[in-house]
Structure 1
């Protein structure tokens, strides 16, 4: 009896603990029925040249999955072929073409016109519609001189072949399937392969979403192995480019030649859709693995087609070397300092090492009305800097700043537009010897309410320190920004932001272990941005070179209304809005993933409701007659309104919402505060967490479906 009671008590304790799971982020969701697994047998070629494949499909629970032929189900078959000319890379040669007349329009493709058979529940067979031994080669049809008879793509039993299935439509919530099976028809080993990337290289930024075809149905292309079935060099005369050219082109920097320039005028960098330096090849190109046997192809076998996608406007080689037969000799793995691996592979690491030779430490900060006094240490190559003039040549604009802010218990009190305290290290820091500097600045505003209080915590960080680094030096080093050896005299190619440094102190200068609360994860940001820097380029005063949230929040916090009408300058609005709608909410965002995936930028504990960090109401401007005035907006309204309201927050009309602003009515009914006169008036009334906290039926985790993005 005692044993039975003990067992019952133990079970009750377990049940109680299971129920008492406050803050759970449901780390172990149930199996996803839409997680489809394909298992295909070796394709069979009959005596008539017809290729058939039997395969099974099961869902995430292990049950047979019913494929709908009308839901984007299509198939392809390819083989690896040697390059056509000396120096050319191997390529995937397809046996399925969308057209063959004229030859220039023949495009590699998937097909759905063969025989699709249901053998049993979840068991299928597909037979291709073409005799794969008699497929006319469109590249040879347009060759000069023309072949005497129609040339066919040779069926080679001893080379690697690929069978591919594409299915579904993410836009219509039909499960997406990308499946490939590689085999050698003769059963031997393949002498040649071509697997350079897999989706693990893409998913950090693209989150498993179709990166290009996501705006075109069917949105079911999410694996490079699937993409390369259509985008290859099967027909070099086709308007459909190879995957290597497309990917480099989409991720490369965009240059333009100035209108007034001549033929020799240097192009200007005008932008990039890529969220980091386009030369960071190892972001996408990983080491050789079981699934990427040819991952080192990018530096072993460079070609004009792949390199020219980025180097188009500066490719002086194009006329001198019209073919690829000499690329490898100058830029291959054995080419030393001119190799692709040397120039691109080690670029960022070398620049980071050069940046690290300059170190800044913030030793103390104190406030005695009206003066701030900051003590810092500057060292270069481990030795104290005697004068700021000694390091000014390595800073793009020759000067750098300290940002001073304070927290009276509610968050940072001043911002970029509200009497910021910015100390110019060039003019307002005095050398004290051995790398020590004393920096002084009087607070420029006489309003008592904006001054640090006796219990305030002072927060100091650096800003506007873009450094020129020597990526070619044998030892890590900085380089003078006007040095004539800089490539094409463009220091931006050698530019990195100085490491972010921050420290917190009480009013008297004692160190305090406190950091500004930020509801995002910097490591997640660097998953896409690699070496995150905001405002690296630009003229003096605009190249803020911020690398850490402490730097960003010193300007972008709840006390700031943006320069742009109706937009809060607070990070919790600014960052969501920028990634969703682009700068100034122009609608031109280049965000590569799915905006619903909270965990792309936040840890699992950072996006719950009520707000987990940055909990204050935020300021934005609203129309006041012919002018504008700043008002306060409650915190969840600021966060959710950054995406769920089409208009700028301060321009929403709650009484008569414009198209896309209908959610404001729901928000206001549940406690959101719009355009209050004070922060106190916009605090404490939101009831969003009642329905939308993590774990609820309509919690942010459920509505945003964050679990499907987890790897």
Structure 2
């Protein structure tokens, strides 16, 4: 059974934090006896008394402004008769040392109630008591004033001097201003105090190196914190798997539990007229360019602080929008997602359909006409449920291709031959993990039908792929179709490469050495439930083999990136006609330091505008260049298959959701550190006159190639060249140490500007 990570709730966390802060603030303790067993007593003090142990000084208070991390816990809250809520909280730094100099300028507070819903106790919405009215008209299409939740900081902050504080709200939530109440009434909102409902107080800190958003849920009428209703739909750690980390509104708001106290149905952007209810806004942002309203020529814009427009109409979500469990997961929808944190209402997306949630992605749906007209959410589940007419929401959001992929698994069993001058024979199989049976690759319709494809590719060498001597004018791997394979009699097949591993007897006269790799790639074709053909990507499989290793044992290629880390955001990576899927060791066989887009640039339907004759396809530069679109001065431009498409990776088309400086988001623990492996080649930027011979290539030195793929401005390039890097050299000059990069002197592990230090590298959840 898989381990299940659960979101155990705030009361336990708060109790643990309160205890830690208390202990580290030097709360007293006691015990029996005057010494441990076997320890002799010390000298007696005058009068025969045992001396007191030396006093241990309490740690000095930590300056708030210098804290790198804030550890905050709310320990209690009440709503007194005067209607001004009171909250008690504690604050310490990253070392659990009490912070005693917090001021009212450093902190903000909000209080909200969890309104009930006719759909049941596990539903409902937060409604803030602290609000303002935003007037429309300065920008955007909005015309009506709207209520907006906000925070306050003008109340009375009492400092106890030991890291504990009390804040008394300035707002009397039982007697709100008349204009606020009138606006709320016009929008159908209820701001009355209902002490029998769950309430939440949340805090935001500013003016420090750390951030924290502690929350406290309780029922004011009883004071209860246990056994009460909560609303936890999504966990912050799940968001941070891509967003690394979620930090908004000046980076002070970092927890979903805090976000929802403002971003609820009671808050609207007056300038656009759009609700900023989190379940609506987050869905619409993530669907972005693929929203039906945007596809029809509209836009999705939210006007934020200072009436600045945030246009999400160009945003492209990096995976299938139907993958709801990438954000929301509970015990009923966990499936195989043991990498996510479960929340109490993580299954609500599947169990409680609503116009707000469903209409956020399907924003062309007119509910007044849908299924005979829907006035509210009361009848949604009659159709959208496991017993309903159209089935459950999970069924409606299933991804047929992903489900079908579970029927196919490839394996490279062995490689026979493969020495220089020999054509390797690859033994492989494709099976169905669900049945344990092997596919008959020569007769099964899924592999012989129209649109199916299955190939075996070979590349060399694993020090850094270059494929010199592959018989082509580019540096791609060599392919052979599985349709020409031979059964081995045990369910596996074998196929022999159509040419030998180069031995220097043919142009360009360079023999392969070291180790190579064989890759099985392709796509199956099946018939879906409606009789339509469905193309199913096969997760590529690979196996290494020795070309001329002294001990005959294959050497694997270095692993700088783990495919699982790519799939955190991408869910599935299927490219090049769905043939190349979910296998980094497959990608790098063609996306190697010697390959460029030279051949297709010459025939590009839409020529690039970067002024280059060719662009490197090296994985280590291309992937950085794509993801770093938001910080590059010059967008990466690559011409694709047969020149049909020129891909321009600029900030309008790529919206990296995390911190681009966090190398660990993609890389293995040592996959980004310097120095690079000694086998890493320079990246070709000019293939010279002899396209099959890398010896006349112009290359960029390896570390410079990597760093300049993100840092491409003139100042950064000058820094690199001043420290041994080159944008205009040869591989021979590198091999002969005529050109030597000195990047590791400063940027190596443990050095003054270690890559892990100058980049905000951190482990992801």
TM norm. shorter chain > 0.5:
yes
Q: 1:364 deviation in Å? A: 3.8
**In the TM superposition, what are the counterparts of 1:576-615 in structure 2 within 5 Å?**
576-581=624-629, 584=637, 585-587=649-651, 588-612=653-677, 615=680
Distance 1:134 1:528 in 2: 46
Q: 1:447: Cα distance to partner?
A: 8.3
Alignment of 1:271-282 (within 5 A): 273-282=316-325
- Contact 1:253–1:278 (Cα < 8 Å) also in 2: no
Any idea what the Cα deviations from partners look like across 1:64-89, whole Å, max 9, x if unmatched?
A: 15335445x32110010013789994
Aligned to 1:18: none
Aligned partner of 2:327 among 241, 261, 284:
284
Contact residue 80 and residue 91 of structure 1 kept, 8 A: yes
Other-structure match for 1:642: 709
Quote the offset at 1:229 in angstroms: 1.3
Structure 1 window deviating more from structure 2 (403-412 vs 413-422): it is: 413-422
Partners of 1:259 and 1:344 lie apart in 2 by 21
Indicate if the aligned counterparts of 2:125 and 2:264 stay in contact, CA closer than 8 A: yes
Partner of 1:249: 284
Aligned residue for 1:106, secondary structure, equals strand
Partner of 1:691: 746
The aligned residue for residue 476 of structure 1 is none
Deviation at 1:593, TM superposition (A): 1.1
> 2: distance between equivalents of 1:314 and 1:48?
46
| 1:176 match: secondary structure | coil
Greater shift, 153-162 or 498-507, is seen at: 498-507
Q: How does 1:428-439 map to 2 (within 5 A)?
A: 428-429=484-485, 436-439=493-496
- Given the alignment of the two structures, is residue 497 of structure 1 paired with residue 541 of structure 2, yes or no? no
Counterpart CA distance in 2 for 1:603 and 1:191 is 42
Residue 448 of structure 1, aligned match among 490, 506, 519: 506
1:185 maps to which residue?
A: 220
Change (3 A) 1:100 1:275: closer
CA contact 2:539–2:582 (8 Å) conserved in 1: yes
Q: Deviations over 1:580-603 (max 9, x none)?
A: 117634234322111121221223
Aligned counterparts of 1:218 and 1:196: Cα–Cα separation in 2: 24
Partner of 2:523: 466
Residues 414-429 of structure 1 mapped to structure 2, 5 A cutoff:
414=468, 418-425=474-481, 428-429=484-485
Aligned partners of 1:383, 1:86: CA distance in 2, in Å? 47
CA distance in 1, matches of 2:315, 2:267: 29
* 1:492-549 superposed Cα distances (whole Å, 9 cap, x missing partner): xxx552122112334599985332223222332233333x4142xxxxx644433111
Paired residue for 2:700?
A: 633
User: In 1, are the aligned partners of 2:275 and 2:281 still within 8 Å (CA)?
Assistant: no
CA distance in 2, matches of 1:260, 1:580: 26
Residue in 2 that maps onto 1:6: none
User: 1:99, CA displacement in angstroms?
Assistant: 0.9
What is the alpha-carbon distance in structure 2 between the residues aligned to residue 226 and residue 258 of structure 1? 30
Deviation at 1:615, TM superposition (A): 2.0
Answer yes or no: is the 8 Å Cα contact 2:524–2:538 preserved in 1.
yes
Q: Could you say which residue in structure 1 is the equivalent of 2:161?
A: 120
Equivalent residue number for residue 401 of structure 1: 455
Deviation, structure 1 residue 95: 0.5
Q: Secondary structure at the match of 1:644?
A: coil
Shift of 1:244: 0.9
Matches within 5 A, 1:309-328: 309-313=360-364, 319-320=370-371, 321-322=373-374, 323-328=376-381
Alignment of 1:224 with 2:256, yes or no, is yes
* C-alpha displacement of 1:359: 6.2
Change (3 A) 1:317 1:190: farther
For residues 636 and 428 of structure 1, do their structure 2 counterparts lie closer, same or farther at Cα, with a shift above 3 Å needed? Answer: same
Q: Could you tell me how far apart the structure 2 residues matched to 1:360 and 1:706 are? A: 35
Give the structure 1 partner of residue 384 of structure 2: 331
* Aligned partners of 1:50 and 1:129 also within 8 Å: yes
| Contact 1:430-1:439 at 8 Å conserved across structures | no
**Cα distance in 1 between the residues matched to 2:86 and 2:560:** 53
Stretches of structure 1 that go unaligned for 5 or more consecutive residues are 1-31, 145-150, 262-269, 469-478, 536-540, 646-659
Measured in 2, the distance between the counterparts of 1:100 and 1:168 equals 24
Q: Is residue 101 of structure 2 the alignment partner of residue 43 of structure 1?
A: no
Match of 2:211 among 162, 167, 176: 176
Deviations 1:528-573 (A, max 9, x none): 333x4142xxxxx644433111111111111123457364321111
Q: 1:390 aligns with which of 444, 452, 456?
A: 444
Which sits farther off after the overlay, 133-142 or 631-640? 133-142
Equivalent residue for 1:552, pick from 587, 606, 616: 587
- Structure 1 442/347 Cα, relative in aligned 2: closer, same or farther at 3 Å? closer
Counterpart CA distance in 1 for 2:199 and 2:756 is: 42
Give, in whole Å, the separation in 2 of the partners of 1:383 and 1:95: 62
Residue 652 of structure 1 corresponds to which residue in structure 2?
none
Taking the aligned partners of 1:558 and 1:290, their CA distance within structure 2 comes to: 39
Give distance in 1, aligned partners of 2:511 and 2:747. Answer: 37
Deviation of the 1:179 alpha carbon: 1.7
Q: Which residue does the alignment assign to 2:757?
A: 702
8 A Cα contact 2:688 2:698, kept in partner: no
The TM-score, its normalising length taken from structure 1, stands at 0.75
- Return the TM-score normalized by structure 2: 0.70
**Conserved in 1, the CA contact under 8 Å of 2:76 and 2:89?**
no
Change (3 A) 1:290 1:49: farther
Where structure 2 has 5 or more consecutive residues not aligned to the other structure, the ranges are: 1-65, 137-143, 297-312, 332-339, 599-607, 631-635, 638-648, 690-695
Distance in structure 1 (CA, Å) of the matches to 2:487 and 2:280: 53
| Structure 1 CA distance for aligned equivalents of residues 197 and 295 of structure 2 | 54
Give the match for residue 663 of structure 1: 716
> Over aligned residue pairs, what C-alpha RMSD do you find?
4.2
**1:128-207 matched pairs, under 5 angstroms:** 128-135=169-176, 136-137=180-181, 141-142=185-186, 153-168=191-206, 174-186=209-221, 187-188=223-224, 192-207=229-244
Asked if 1 retains the 8 angstrom alpha-carbon contact of 2:329 and 2:341, the reply is no
Aligned CA distance change for structure 1 residues 338 and 600 (closer, same or farther; 3 Å): same
Would you say the 8 A contact 1:360–1:379 is kept in 2? no
Pick from 381, 406, 429: which aligns with 1:353? 406
Aligned length: 614
